[in-house]
Amino acid sequence: MSAVRSLTAAVFAAALFAQPPYDLVIRGGRVMDPETGLDAVRTIGISNGAIARVTTGDLDGARTIDASGLVVAPGFIDLHSHGQDAENYRLKALDGVTTALELEIGVLDVPGFIAARRGRALVNFGATVSHPAARLTTLGHPMPPGAIVPASGPATTSPVTDEQFERIAALLEKGLDAGALGIGMGLAYTPGATRLEVIRLFRIAAAHHVPIYVHVRSAGRIEPGSSIESIGEVIGAAAVTGAPLHIVHINSIGLRDSAECLRLVEGARVRGLDVTTEAYPYGAGMTAINSGVFDPGWPEKLGITYADLQLVETGERLTKERFDVLHASPESKLVLLYLNPDEIVDLVIEHPLTMIASDGHVENGKGHPRGAGTYARILARYVRDRHTLSLMAALRKMSLMPAQRLEGAAPLARRKGRAQEGADADLVVFDPRTVQDQATYEKGPLPSTGFRYVLVAGTPVVADGNIVDGVFPGRPVTTR
């Protein structure tokens, strides 16, 4: 065989048997990266779950997605996702979320939570260790499985002894040692926690260099117990302990004083404190009717009446009589609370310090629309319809800012929230002209539409707008 012929044969064999250099190529999309400001047509090459190449040239992949005319952006990171099961992960994926974290209330058994989802999750997942659950367990009334927030009772309303606090602290330490992303606190649900208990909890977080994620003690204008006082309590605790602080859903805590509450966060940050916040883009909240939120005096405090409550299960608006029956029942029914007019929601969502987080929880197809529509709603209502957020600003609030909140404690979050070489290939591919939330209070948590592809660690979990069955690329997000 001549040299030329054997070379030709070798080239032919290489062409026949060589693997394409990339597992997946996303070709010709408008790639947007909020950290570097990149907003240009690029082709992305993905290998081993990560973005290996971002280029103006062409790339060869085992599989190719044509993204021309579509936006390619980092997948959304939901810091406040109570729904941590297959039903909720599907709704999250269809809403562009690639990482869904239970940080507000958290979980008690962190290793158990991770083990139950490893290899079985559509999207990335993670949790804080739960102060409410640790407190209730220590006081002999553990939260029932499936409960999102504790029912009001002696274990939520009584102060704890020093000996009891030590036991709570030991449970929290155990969760933090297992990689919990911080400590989750719901002070409105455990009003028996004294100011000193709160400061001691912040000290534990500070010693572990992890944030406190907190639903603050109270809301409204009536003193004591105003929104302003409640935000002041946790900012003060952060200042004296050094613990990073994330205040959840400042919209439903701030109410009419939301703008002032955001100024408190802004002031704390200007003075060097690591304080962040988030909101969901809806006027109504949702919680359990037998929780501490409905302790006596709630209508005056929140500035709403019985008719502003709606039972999620049936859609019925409540009266005083009906409320009294449901409130006294040991059964934990969820209710919508119509708290905020649009002006307040819009002001909070459009504020540059506010991250987007859903506070979502859907069960058997029922629940607040935020569990299904939060992220598409930001892109539809604020970017496309109202023009009050640029597309890049919205993407930043949904991807980069939550990644930055996490990464001080969880270094692996530095690879998330970015459409850059070296980042995890958690990506959304969508049409900004058509992306739309479909969930409403009336119709319930219907899935969003318009996310053409959603990738978790390079694996499509949504393809051509539909869930891909039988794939479980979601990985745990921990401090390890």
Interaction site with Zn ion (CB under 5 A): 215
Residue type (1 letter), 29: G
- At its nearest, how many Å lie between Zn ion and the CB of residue 165? 23
Nearer to Zn ion, 215 or 397 (CB): 215
Ramachandran class of 277: left when φ > 0, alpha when ψ lies in -120 to 50, beta otherwise: beta
Tokens of 427: 């990506």
- At its nearest, how many Å lie between Zn ion and the CB of residue 286? 9
**Cα separation of 54 and 429, whole Å?**
15
Tokens of 417: 């929230």
Nearer to Zn ion, 92 or 370 (CB): 370
Decide if 356 contacts 397 (C-beta within 8 A): yes
**Cα separation of 216 and 198, whole Å?**
11
- At its nearest, how many Å lie between Zn ion and the CB of residue 186? 6
Nearer to Zn ion, 359 or 426 (CB): 359
Nearer to Zn ion, 114 or 149 (CB): 149
Going 131 to 354 to 345 to 226, the CA torsion angle's sign is: positive
- At its nearest, how many Å lie between Zn ion and the CB of residue 297? 19
**Can you tell me which residue has the tokens 């260099």?**
209
Nearer to Zn ion, 29 or 292 (CB): 292
Decide if 34 contacts 74 (C-beta within 8 A): yes
Nearer to Zn ion, 219 or 395 (CB): 219
Nearer to Zn ion, 135 or 215 (CB): 215
Cis peptide bond upstream of 34, omega within 30: no
Ramachandran class of 173: left when φ > 0, alpha when ψ lies in -120 to 50, beta otherwise: alpha
Nearer to Zn ion, 90 or 215 (CB): 215
- At its nearest, how many Å lie between Zn ion and the CB of residue 235? 18
- At its nearest, how many Å lie between Zn ion and the CB of residue 334? 12
- At its nearest, how many Å lie between Zn ion and the CB of residue 287? 7
283 C-beta neighbours (distance < 10 Å), count: 19
Tell me the residue number closest to Zn ion, measured at CB: 215
Helix H or strand E encompassing 215? strand 212-215
Neighbouring residues of 250: CB distance < 8 A, sequence distance ≥ 6 = 258, 261, 262, 265, 277, 278, 279, 348, 354
**Cα separation of 70 and 455, whole Å?**
15
Nearer to Zn ion, 268 or 357 (CB): 357
- At its nearest, how many Å lie between Zn ion and the CB of residue 77? 18
- At its nearest, how many Å lie between Zn ion and the CB of residue 417? 23
The CA-based angle 134-137-142, given to 5 degrees, is 115
Rg, the chain, Cα only: 23
> Whose CA is closest to 21, among 57, 64, 62?
62
> Whose CA is closest to 455, among 474, 477, 427?
427
Nearer to Zn ion, 280 or 453 (CB): 280
- At its nearest, how many Å lie between Zn ion and the CB of residue 248? 6
Neighbouring residues of 98: CB distance < 8 A, sequence distance ≥ 6 = 75, 76, 77, 123, 124, 426, 427, 428, 454, 455, 456, 461
Nearer to Zn ion, 27 or 215 (CB): 215
- At its nearest, how many Å lie between Zn ion and the CB of residue 217? 12
